[in-house]
A and B are shown apart, each in its own frame.
Chain A
Amino acid sequence: EAGVVQSPRYKIIEKKQPVAFWCNPISGHNTLYWYRQNLGQGPELLIRYENEEAVDDSQLPKDRFSAERLKGVDSTLKIQPAELGDSAVYLCASSLRRVVGDYEQYFGPGTRLTVT
């Protein structure tokens, strides 16, 4: 079974430039998450999708960050314009939502963003 795929793996941009990250979740997983991980910290949730709907974007800085999940499969996270403080690893995860019971989140390898 293929895991969560993310691209690019690394990205270096100058501040004020736009950047986009792409995620392809595990086939059949209807829930998709974007996390941000700063150096030395654990991941922090930015946004969660159930199918096409963003059901929790309370932690997404909406002035510069946007996300979409067209057709409820792939997702794109965008930053425009990027700031120095956005340097981090951006992780995508997916899971299969069940009516009852627990489920696990499966993470991709992440995109390491460096803003100079």
Chain B
Amino acid sequence: DAKTTQPPSMDCAEGRAANLPCNHSTISGNEYVYWYRQIHSQGPQYIIHGLKNNETNEMASLIITEDRKSSTLILPHATLRDTAVYYCIVRRGLRGGSNYKLTFGKGTLLTVNP
């Protein structure tokens, strides 16, 4: 699986949008971009994933560049409860296969300030 590069930490003001970048310049055509987050003393939590197109759900939006070498996770209105480590993971998709593996890096510690 392709490796990812994320800044170690970021700050965001409460109520503002948090934009978390991720570089994955070696991503392959069949690899998806996944985002998980881990709040202190909890297990990781799935946020969103995408292949080529931008994706949005109730938690966040995922913007993937046209060349797919980088992406941005957007939390539109960050709250104090969004303070967590955010992991960007690249993983091959499943098509009747068994590629299940999530390879976590160190992620980005997002601190939302009041």
Q: A-side interface residues toward B, CB under 8 Å?
A: 4, 31, 40-45, 48, 55, 91, 93, 95, 97-110
CB pair A93–B101 under 8 Å, yes or no, is no
CB pair B107–A42 under 8 Å, yes or no, is yes
Chain B residues whose C-beta falls within 8 Å of the C-beta of A93 in the assembled complex: 43-44
Please report the C-alpha to C-alpha distance between residue A44 and residue B98 in the assembled complex, in whole angstroms: 18
Q: A100-B96, A102-B32, A107-B42 are in contact. List 8 more A-B contacts (CB 8 A).
A: A41-B106, A42-B87, A42-B103, A42-B105, A43-B102, A48-B100, A103-B94, A105-B44
CB pair A40–B43 under 8 Å, yes or no, is no
Q: B-side interface residues toward A, CB under 8 Å?
A: 32, 41-46, 49, 87, 93-96, 98, 100-107
Report A97 CB to chain B, min CB distance, Å. 8
Knowing A42-B104, A43-B104, the reply to whether A4 touches B43 (Cβ < 8 A) is yes
Considering the complex, give the chain A residue whose CB is closest to the CB of B101. Answer: A45
Chain A residues whose C-beta falls within 8 Å of the C-beta of B100 in the assembled complex: 31, 48, 95, 97, 105
Consensus secondary structure, chain A interface:
loop
CB pair B43–A107 under 8 Å, yes or no, is yes
Please report the C-alpha to C-alpha distance between residue A31 and residue B101 in the assembled complex, in whole angstroms: 12
Please report the C-alpha to C-alpha distance between residue A93 and residue B44 in the assembled complex, in whole angstroms: 9
Closest 4 interchain pairs by CB? A42-B104, A107-B43, A104-B46, A107-B44
CB pair B94–A110 under 8 Å, yes or no, is no
Considering the complex, give the chain B residue whose CB is closest to the CB of A45. Answer: B101
CB pair A44–B43 under 8 Å, yes or no, is no
Considering the complex, give the chain B residue whose CB is closest to the CB of A31. Answer: B100
CB pair B43–A109 under 8 Å, yes or no, is yes
CB pair B43–A45 under 8 Å, yes or no, is no
Q: List 14 A-B contacts (CB under 8 A).
A: A40-B106, A42-B87, A43-B102, A45-B101, A45-B102, A93-B43, A100-B94, A100-B95, A100-B96, A103-B94, A105-B100, A108-B43, A110-B42, A110-B43
Please report the C-alpha to C-alpha distance between residue A106 and residue B106 in the assembled complex, in whole angstroms: 19
A109 CB contact (under 8 Å) in B42, B46, B104: B42
